[in-house]
């Protein structure tokens, strides 16, 4: 290898280190999303691995955005290094370097690198699973340690984003697609992977059964069949230019003899994971990008095809690659910090009420990170209301608001969601007052299922939470008096 090439490789690792430091510096500037707050509080979070990492971070660095998200940039760095090691062994160091560059400009990956969500772990686990599975296939020992490491990744995916089907589908396809690798499906190594994944799914199913299968109380178990909005979501998470290049690459991959056998592994991971994300990814709440983990093997495929594609002169390939990377980087910056247009003096106003996920127009009128705005101010207003009733317990209109307010409130009270409070029969609540908060601007009273549990109620305050001159949410706070447990 030439000296200049080795210098570029060293610069890549230095750039990854600096990028990780910048991501750590960015963490305290973004308020936690409700899902992140729930993980940090371990408040019935259905992804225990995310909760464990968030609790470990806050134990080391205190209760705050930096502590709750500390492991996100670190996992992104480890995922990038795993991609480099995997791609270098599969192809060569040049393609490995380009794969890391493409991955680190993807909006979905950058979002996962600064927010601790199931997507953060799935990007990391996908990268490590690719590396470990390749290592296992290169060794003759049927129970090499790499098989157990791959099994740990498959089981970890269940605890990060249950039931972890996408990563397991990628592993299965990687072994079933190339004919020369299919015998591994009957080998002890794959049995270890299947057993670990099956055991993790069984534990998850037991948890669901004990809690009355909450999965089926949400629409997340059904596929989202709104095809055009789903494609717009891909454009937001992957950037339009890179996705167009992926389409062009897909036309060349099938007849390309370079991607056969073990070299087909990135594509084998990509296809089933992308198919599942197309129909189930839209249910992921922002900023979770768990379903978009297929973009990690897509970055590897794109880097490889960009290097071997001979239909264009070298200068044109470099120009197209540069344009794609710059556009993706700009879109990443916008998604991570959507105040940038206003910082530049552009009077962009996002809508206060976002259409449902099945409408394509939401991708043009909604601010991506609006769900992460205004929670500190909302908690300050809620604290002021709680000071007027120091012995009251706190209730929020939904679990997302309850988690965010409980994380940011200074009073240290537990914030119950509406379902918990309306079904409550705890004698400890008997005769106590409650402070109820909702972000429904049309609300004129507490919901009936809550109001009937109290003797009376009155409106305490109405507030409009603003951010950068735009309305984030309306808050209405009610005082409810004399809690009465339900009659048996």
pLDDT per residue as tens, the chain (488 positions): 556 656 677 888 999 999 999 999 999 988 898 888 888 887 555 678 999 999 999 999 988 899 999 999 999 999 999 999 999 999 889 889 989 999 999 999 999 999 999 999 999 999 999 999 999 999 878 888 999 999 999 999 999 988 899 999 999 999 998 888 888 889 999 999 999 999 999 998 888 888 777 777 777 778 888 888 888 888 888 887 677 666 665 655 555 544 566 788 998 999 899 999 988 888 888 888 888 999 999 999 888 877 776 555 666 667 777 777 888 888 888 887 777 766 666 666 666 567 776 776 777 777 777 778 888 888 898 888 888 887 888 889 888 888 888 999 888 888 888 877 666 556 557 778 889 999 888 888 888 888 888 888 888 888 888 776 677 788 999 988 888 765 54
H-helix or E-strand spanning residue 285: none
Helices (runs of H) and strands (runs of E) counted in the chain? 22, 5
Residue 360 belongs to a domain? no
CA distance 232 to 45: 28
Residue 346 falls within a domain, yes or no? no
> 180 and 267 in one domain?
yes
Q: How many domains does the chain have?
A: 2
pLDDT at residue number 121: 96
Domain that holds residue 385: 373-483
The 3-state DSSP class for residue 464 equals strand
pLDDT value, residue 6: 62
Nearest to 301 by CA among 358, 327, 263, 331: 263
357, part of any domain = no
What pLDDT is recorded for position 328? 82
Is the same domain home to 248 and 389? no
Give yes or no: residues 255 and 127 share one domain: yes
Which pLDDT value is given to residue 103? 93
For residue 79, what pLDDT is reported? Answer: 97
| The predicted structure's pLDDT at residue 85 | 96
Q: With contact defined as beta carbons under 8 Å apart, do 157 and 167 qualify?
A: yes
Show which of 310, 336, 362 is a domain's final residue: 336
**CA 99: distance to chain centroid?**
21
Residues 317, 448 share a domain? no
Do 392 and 280 fall within a single domain? Answer: no
């Amino acid at each position: 290898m030439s000296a200049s090439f080795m210098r570029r490789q060293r610069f890549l690792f230095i750039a990854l280190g600096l990028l990780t430091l910048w991501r750590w510096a960015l963490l305290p500037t973004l308020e936690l999303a409700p899902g992140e707050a729930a993980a940090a509080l371990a408040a019935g979070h259905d992804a225990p691995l995310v909760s464990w990492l968030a609790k470990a971070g806050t134990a080391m660095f205190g209760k705050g955005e930096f502590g709750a998200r500390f492991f996100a940039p670190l996992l992104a760095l480890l995922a990038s290094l795993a991609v480099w090691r995997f791609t270098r062994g599969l192809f060569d160091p040049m393609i490995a370097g380009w794969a890391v560059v493409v991955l680190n400009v993807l909006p979905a990956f950058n979002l996962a690198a600064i927010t601790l969500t199931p997507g953060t772990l799935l990007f990391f686990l996908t990268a490590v699973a690719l590396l470990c599975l390749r290592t296992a296939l290169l060794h003759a020992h049927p129970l090499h340690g790499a098989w157990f490491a791959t099994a740990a990744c498959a089981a970890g995916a269940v605890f990060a984003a249950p039931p972890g089907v996408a990563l397991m589908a990628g592993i299965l396809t990687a072994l079933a697609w190339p004919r020369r690798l299919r015998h591994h499906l009957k080998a002890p190594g794959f049995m270890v992977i299947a057993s670990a994944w099956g055991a993790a799914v069984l534990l998850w199913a037991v948890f669901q059964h004990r809690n009355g299968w909450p999965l089926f109380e949400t629409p997340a178990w059904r596929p989202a069949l709104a095809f055009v909005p789903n494609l717009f979501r891909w454009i937001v998470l992957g950037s339009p230019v890179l996705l167009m290049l992926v389409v062009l690459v897909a036309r060349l991959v099938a007849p390309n003899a370079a991607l056969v056998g073990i070299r087909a592994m990135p594509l084998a991971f990509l296809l089933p994971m992308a198919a599942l994300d197309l129909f189930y990814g839209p249910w992921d709440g922002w900023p979770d990008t768990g379903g978009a983990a297929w973009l990690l093997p897509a970055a590897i495929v794109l880097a490889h095809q960009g290097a071997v594609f001979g239909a264009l002169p070298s200068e044109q390939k470099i120009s197209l690659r540069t344009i794609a990377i710059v556009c993706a980087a700009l879109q990443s910056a916008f998604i991570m910090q959507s105040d940038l247009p206003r910082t530049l003096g552009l009077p962009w106003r996002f809508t206060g009420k976002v259409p449902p996920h099945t409408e394509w127009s939401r991708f043009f009128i909604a601010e991506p990170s609006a769900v992460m705005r205004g929670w500190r101010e909302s908690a300050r207003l809620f604290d002021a209301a709680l000071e007027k009733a120091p012995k009251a317990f706190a209730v929020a209109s939904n679990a997302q608001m309850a988690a965010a307010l409980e994380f940011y409130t200074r009073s240290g009270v537990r914030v119950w969601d509406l379902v918990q409070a309306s079904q409550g029969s705890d004698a400890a609540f008997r005769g106590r007052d409650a402070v109820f908060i909702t972000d429904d601007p049309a609300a004129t009273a507490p919901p009936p299922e809550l109001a009937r549990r109290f003797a009376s109620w009155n409106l305490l305050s109405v507030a409009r939470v603003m951010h950068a001159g735009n309305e984030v949410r309306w808050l209405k706070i009610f005082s409810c008096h004399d809690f009465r447990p339900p009659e048996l």
